[in-house]
Amino acid sequence: MTISRLTKAVFGAALIASTPLAFAADQPALEDSTIETAKMLRDAALKSDVAYDLLESLTTEVGPRLAGSVKEQEAIDWAVAKFKSLGFDKVYTEPVQVPKWERISEAASVVAPFAQPLTITALGKSAATPEGGVTAEIVHYATFEDLQSANPDDVNGKIVFISNRMERKIDGAGYGPAVQARGRGASEAARKGAVAIVIRSIGTDSHRLPHTGGVNYEEDAPRIAAAALSNPDADQLERMMKRGLPITLHLDIQTKDLGTVEMANVIGEITGTTLPNEYVVLGSHLDSWDLGTGAVDDGAGVAITMATADLIKRIAPRPKRTIRVVLFSAEEIGLVGARQYAERHAANIEEFAIGAESDFGAGPIWALASRVNPDATFVVDKMAQLMGAIGVVRADRIAGGGPDVGQLARVGMPVMDLLQNGDDYFDLHHTADDTFDKIIPENMRQNMAAWAVFTYVAADWPGSFK
């Protein structure tokens, strides 16, 4: 924790202890009308199925929407049409240059000593194996760090197998440590002479459905094929290893890199009254992996943020600031749309009052975190108090803003995190099982209610979060 963070935390605690309506001397107070409207929106959201219905529409009418594909373009067209039919004041797109990658086929089997097929999926952006596949002995590492310290002589000519297990945690904290194997394993293995890599899926389920997700190839390493085994298949390999015999795998992965194509971030706005050139950003991403229909990742976020702005437009007095819903392109293959958005708007970052992102599935929101000026902490505390009625507590942590909106935070926009319960998120994440039937309507309403409070208060309180 840095000193400035510590100061903020101490200051925040002091404000929480004072009366709810306390405010800093140089900041405007929260008006009663803002608070009353936020309550009204919260209660109305609990009866609204707009978010649920939008998600049903996106996942049914478009379905999977891999970054750079024809399906992502269909999702962009869907979003523009929806924003327009909902009656947003401004609907527009901004171009994004997206690398296009395609999965063609994927197969794996144990050749010896216990010949049998394995269930795998190519990691996103994986290189292909040579035509006909590769056959090699596996060399096993429990973690990415073990591979890092491995002797190249042990790796050369082999297929690396990393078996680390992701831990289940409410806030997904098990993901970061485990995902190193997926993101960085391929280049590390290739530098040591491996011919391919397979990892245990970065997921918490025990279904025979592998989890895809992006692999990052580093410039100085050959590009080798990278795949994830379903968790039961990783267990199977580990049981085989206990027999002490060398294990030979066959791996055949065919993929295609198809250069760069133009996609778009899609933006819908509800124009503010007295501060129309200041924005409250509601972020999510429109692309998904290709295996499921992207219901929890991140159709839910798209639907929640669109429905929240729509609700405010329909039933509340217009807030002072403009509400800007941004549906980012190509998040899954490396935050491509968000990085280009932040670059494009960095010079005008002063106009971005505050932002938040919905990209952690469709579980209920349980906590609220912020990264704002200490003088604005009393506003966040009031939001948390209003959300208390729907089970949300003030989180004892600094907000990061999420993967996409976090790009704007890096160039100076204050952010909040509406933290969702992610207990089962990584059972479904990046698998063929990420489908609409997993969505619980009541949770979508609760999300909308919390987002309505955040969005309305942030847009109608004229003080500075910076």
Binding residues for Zn ion, rule: CB under 5 A, are 297-298, 359
Least gap, CB of 340 to Zn ion (angstroms): 17
Please give the structure tokens belonging to residue 31: 């008006």
Closest to Zn ion by CB, 210 or 283? 283
Per-residue DSSP letter, 214: B
115: helix, strand or coil: coil
User: What letter does residue 322 receive in the DSSP assignment?
Assistant: E
Look at the block and give the residue holding tokens 């929407």: 65
Least distance between Zn ion and beta carbon 285 (Å): 6
Q: Name the residue nearer to Zn ion (CB basis): 188 or 298.
A: 298
C-beta of 289 vs 461, nearer to Zn ion: 289
269, 331, 332, 357: which is the annotated catalytic residue? 331
What is the SS3 string spanning 388-439? HHHCCEEEEEECCCCCCHHHHHHCCCCEEEEEECCCCHHHHCCCCCCCHHHC
Nearest to 453 by CA among 401, 392, 403, 400: 392
Cα 88 from Cα 5, distance rounded (Å): 38
Specify the residue, 171 or 298, whose C-beta has the smaller distance to Zn ion.
298
Residue 139 and residue 189 in contact, taking contact as beta carbons nearer than 8 Å: no
Nearer to Zn ion, 298 or 460 (CB): 298
Closest distance to Zn ion from the beta carbon of 149 (Å):
32
Q: Shortest distance, CB of residue 209 to Zn ion, whole angstroms?
A: 17
| Tokens read off for 346 | 């960095």
Spatial separation of the C-alpha atoms in residues 294 and 247, rounded to whole Å: 35
Question: What number of CA atoms fall less than 13 Å from residue 170's CA on the CB side?
Answer: 8
What are the two backbone dihedrals, phi and then psi, of residue 298, each rounded to the nearest 5 degrees? -130, 35
Residue 110 or 415: the one with the smaller Cβ distance to Zn ion is: 415
Closest distance to Zn ion from the beta carbon of 69 (Å)? 16
Q: How far is the CB of 104 from Zn ion (least distance, A)?
A: 24
The backbone region for 236, taken as left when phi is positive above 0, alpha when psi lies in -120 to 50, beta otherwise, is alpha
CA distances from 412 to 5, 50, 119, 155, 448 (A): 15, 32, 44, 44, 26
Contact (Cβ atoms closer than 8 angstroms) between residue 418 and residue 368: yes
- Two tokens at 311? 């609700």
The one-letter amino acid at 358: S
Asked if residue 193 lies in contact with residue 152, where contact means CB atoms within 8 angstroms, the answer is yes
Q: Left if phi > 0, otherwise alpha if psi is -120 to 50, otherwise beta: which for 433?
A: alpha
Residues paired with residue 264 on neighbouring β-strands, in sequence order:
95
CA atoms lying within 13 Å on the CB side of residue 127? 17
CA dihedral for 347, 352, 354, 356, sign (positive or negative): negative
Of the pair 191, 438, the CB lying nearest Zn ion is at: 438
Residue nearer to Zn ion on the CB measure, 333 or 395: 333
- Indicate if 36 belongs to the active site: no
Q: What's the min distance (Å) between Cβ of 284 and Zn ion? A: 8
63 conformational bin, left if phi > 0, alpha if psi -120 to 50, beta if neither: left
- Active-site amino acid positions: 331
